[in-house]
Amino acid sequence: MENTSSDIRQLNEKIHQASAFVDLLNMELGKVIVGQKYMVERLLIGLLAQGHVLLEGVPGLAKTLSIKSLSSAINGKFSRIQFTPDLLPADVIGTMIYNQQRNEFMVRRGPIFANFILADEINRAPAKVQSALLEAMQERQITIGDTTFKLDEPFLVLATQNPIEQEGTYMLPEAQVDRFMLKVVIGYPTKEEERHIIRQNLNPQATPEIRPVIQPSDIMEARKLVREVYMDEKIEKYIIDIVFATRNPEEYKLQKLKPLIAYGGSPRASINLALAAKAYAFMKRRGYVIPEDVRSICFDVMRHRVGLTYEAEAENVTSENILSEILNAVEVP
């Protein structure tokens, strides 16, 4: 055990030094993004844990600004795709075009070839386009004609969906929503933050430019370290208990949840909960995961992975209510 504890101490020191750039990034992003610390933190978790983020919030909450600023701070390439009902898969991934001078077909790459993709209002595009984007997210490669292209790393998709307008939208199927590591629901700023936003926007001189503080290669190194973060067997058991409680609530004395849950989290939920907890510990500059890391990230990883029955919807029960019950019932190590 002595050996293990000294290993953990060394790992802790190593990660404490290696994660210093997180503070730099937060300071840089704080220049233009007022409030929304929660959203920025979740974006960084997605980036460090190699996952994608689905953001839900009303228009005007700095979703576009956040990912664009993050891209600038990391010196990455940014692409914004506005999803509309008439969009085609070729508009996202690219297509073959005929070159008359050369008398041959050439590949014209789409906006997906970037480090940071903002898929704006993803639920406005038809299923074909959604699945083209989701394939790129999962496989991290694109096939155009008979040529397959690897996408640049780091590769982060931030998809937004607008919760208020349901006309002309195509709901993301459950299996596709599951491909997002995190689903983050964001709310309005506080009065103080809103006052700051007004002042910043009315004074053109007050809008500073985001400088690159790190390079994409630094993120790739950090990702390797995130996977090295120590996770005790007790924490692994805690994660498994949380996910299993969404599948078999009666085993955790939560019989009343049984008629409310249509389906629970898949093994992807367990993997993502473990990875996101490691990334969260890394951002808190720690070399080991504590139960609080799992609890703080649990809602974002799990809220889109718990299916509700008609009974739950009739009683206005949300997946957050169910997860709160589970977190209260499952024994914390």
3-class secondary structure, 254? coil
Closest CA relative to residue 35, chosen from 54, 52, 60: 60
60: tokens are 């005007």
Residue with tokens 């999803």: 83
pLDDT of residue 330: 86
H, E, C per residue of 202-242: HCHHHCCCCCCCCCHHHHHHHHHHHHHCECCHHHHHHHHHH
- Asked whether residue 290 carries a pLDDT value surpassing 50, the answer given is yes
Give alpha helix (H) positions in the chain: 2-18, 20-30, 37-48, 63-73, 89-93, 127-139, 174-177, 191-202, 216-228, 233-247, 267-283, 291-302, 310-314, 319-329
Specify whether the CB–CB gap between 117 and 158 falls below 8 A: yes
330: tokens are 């499952």
Distances in Å between the Cα of 186 and the Cα atoms of 38, 63, 129 are: 8, 9, 25
Specify whether the CB–CB gap between 214 and 21 falls below 8 A: yes
Identify the structural domains of the chain with CATH numbers, from first to last: 2-203 (3.40.50.300), 230-329 (1.10.8.80)
pLDDT of residue 277: 94
Q: Higher-confidence residue: 59 or 299?
A: 299
CA atoms within 13 A on the CB side of 147: 12
3-class secondary structure, 302? helix
pLDDT of residue 2: 42
pLDDT of residue 166: 60
216: tokens are 């994409």
- Asked whether residue 286 carries a pLDDT value surpassing 90, the answer given is no
pLDDT of residue 151: 87
Q: Quick one: pLDDT band at residue 1, thresholds 50, 70, 90? A: very low
Specify whether the CB–CB gap between 330 and 245 falls below 8 A: yes
- Asked whether residue 93 carries a pLDDT value surpassing 50, the answer given is yes
If phi > 0 it is left, if psi is from -120 to 50 it is alpha, else beta; for residue 117 that is beta
pLDDT of residue 209: 81
Neighbouring residues of 255: CB distance < 8 A, sequence distance ≥ 6: 249
State the Cα angle at 174 between 289 and 261, rounded to 5°: 75
Cβ atoms within 10 Å of 62's Cβ, excluding its own:
20
292: tokens are 């609080």
Q: Quick one: pLDDT band at residue 241, thresholds 50, 70, 90? A: very high
Its pTM surpasses 0.85: yes
Specify whether the CB–CB gap between 126 and 84 falls below 8 A: no
Residue with tokens 């780091």: 154
Give the residue-averaged pLDDT of 299-307: 91
